[in-house]
Amino acid sequence: MKTRKTPDEILKTGAKPATSYHHGNLERGLIDRATEVIANQGVEHLTLRLLGEELGVSRSALYRHFPDKQTLLVRVAEEGFVRFGDALDAARASKSAEDVFVRMGRAYFDFARQNPGHYRVMFDTTVLKKANSAKVHAAAKRPLACLVDEVVKDTPETDKDRATLIETRVSGLWSLLHGYSMLAINGHLAGTSSSVAKSMVASVLYLLQGQRSSR
Amino acid sequence: MKTRKTPDEILKTGAKPATSYHHGNLERGLIDRATEVIANQGVEHLTLRLLGEELGVSRSALYRHFPDKQTLLVRVAEEGFVRFGDALDAARASKSAEDVFVRMGRAYFDFARQNPGHYRVMFDTTVLKKANSAKVHAAAKRPLACLVDEVVKDTPETDKDRATLIETRVSGLWSLLHGYSMLAINGHLAGTSSSVAKSMVASVLYLLQGQRSSR
DNA sequence: AGAGTAATGTAATCATTGTTGACATAGCAT
DNA sequence: ATGCTATGTCAACAATGATTACATTACTCT
């Protein structure tokens, strides 16, 4: 009994007549538009006034759907983590001749570059810190768990101090993926030709191999 | 004729008598305190009111030293880049049995973890974008130039398409260093035991080796 | 169909923060 | 001493996030 009309029904009927008092699906619109603005201009340029204007709604309408701005950002992050987890899971499960880490690495980079708004909020220092939503914290664990699972599988049990080796490999893998994603999103890798992107995916393997053979 | 008293003179005389109207070295104090706040609580928690209070000065006093808050942040970033460049240069120049990339990698991580406030601002999406100070842009180039220089030296000239190889290696190296630094600073690598940190430094070499031998 | 009720949106208002302009004070040179 | 400049204060403004009281719509139940 949450909504009177599903989003699909709204869309089918031709969405938002000119005289409508109700927006129809403001919650969805707020999340989507906020994500766009963040992708284009960064979190700090997102204002409720702009959001309201663009959606043809008063600025206080947001508070019917979110207790505050912070919570809207948490929702953006949450949806990002879910989709991110889905993407990594899919890459992991896909049957392919390629190494599973190559597949996951590519999926990681692709997600970050195609969803810069989500990715920024997901790893923004302060957004998650104050979030008391259990859902977002659960969603945030899943993508990393994907990486950890595969590293665990790939780390020989014979190694003494196996736990440390796993931790090392996860840290290295994640650092490489996160660092490249962040630098690329923020335009610090100007001449990021596609060949470099491909090489970065391959680098995942070399990094892992080096870490396993070392120590 | 910029200052009547150098900072050192102020300090020698016992700094800031209770009845002082002038702060003595407000510019320095603003930059330093701002850096601390950012390190502890993030950029978005930095307010001019707080800054003024803590330095025993009105909130508008800042505007005698910086045209606006943004410019203060740019100054923090600028000083960060200078010190960062110095640290990398020193590591590169130091005579040691260790590989130069190991030395630079350690210096990179050490700087980031010991100066989280600086590092955050330096790579904040929006701080540098709007900065029209030539100084900060020059300072920002130097640290990366250190890494690039060494990669260039280390990349065999015989390789055809050498430029792409260099670009790939720089991207990979920087991504690993930046990613680990960011994740560590923001507390995402909770169990970051010192052994993991050491392994991360070593990983730099394996990554570079893999990239050179590949493609 | 019609009443009742919850969901959704608006308008007016407030607190916080960055910023500005007019004024006050201190230090330095002559 | 006098004047100039750097530095700091105070009051006010604009933008923004948030709150409260009220208005409108849509669903449910009979």
CATH number at residue A129: 1.10.357.10
Q: What is the pLDDT of residue B147?
A: 98
- Residue B192 scores a pLDDT above 70: no
Query: Does any domain span residue A136?
Result: yes
In angstroms, the CA of B48 and the C1' of D13 are apart by 17
Structure tokens at A169: 């490999």
Query: Does any domain span residue A25?
Result: no
**Number of domains chain A contains:** 1
A189 touches B at CB < 8 Å: yes
Query: Does any domain span residue A22?
Result: no
Alpha-carbon Rg for chain B in angstroms: 21
Asked if residue A170 lies in contact with residue B179, where contact means CB atoms within 8 angstroms, the answer is: no
Query: Does any domain span residue B51?
Result: no
- Residue B17 scores a pLDDT above 80: no
Name the closest nucleotide to B61, judged by C1' and CA: D8
Asked if residue A181 lies in contact with residue B176, where contact means CB atoms within 8 angstroms, the answer is: no
Q: What is the pLDDT of residue A175?
A: 98
The parent domain of residue A129 ranges over 69-203
Q: What is the pLDDT of residue B167?
A: 94
Structure tokens at A120: 């920024």
Q: What is the pLDDT of residue B215?
A: 54
Query: Does any domain span residue B40?
Result: no
Query: Does any domain span residue B2?
Result: no
Q: How many CB atoms lie within 10 A of CB B153?
A: 8
Q: Which are the contacts of B153, defined by CB distance < 8 A and separation ≥ 6?
A: none
Note the pLDDT tens digit of each residue in B51-68. Answer: 999 999 999 999 999 999
Query: Does any domain span residue B63?
Result: no
B196/A164 Cβ within 8 A: yes
Q: Residue B194 — very low, low, confident or very high, per pLDDT cuts 50/70/90?
A: confident
User: Percentage of chain B with pLDDT > 90?
Assistant: 78
Q: Residues of chain A whose pLDDT is less than 50?
A: 1-18
In angstroms, the CA of B48 and the C1' of C25 are apart by 22
Query: Does any domain span residue B9?
Result: no
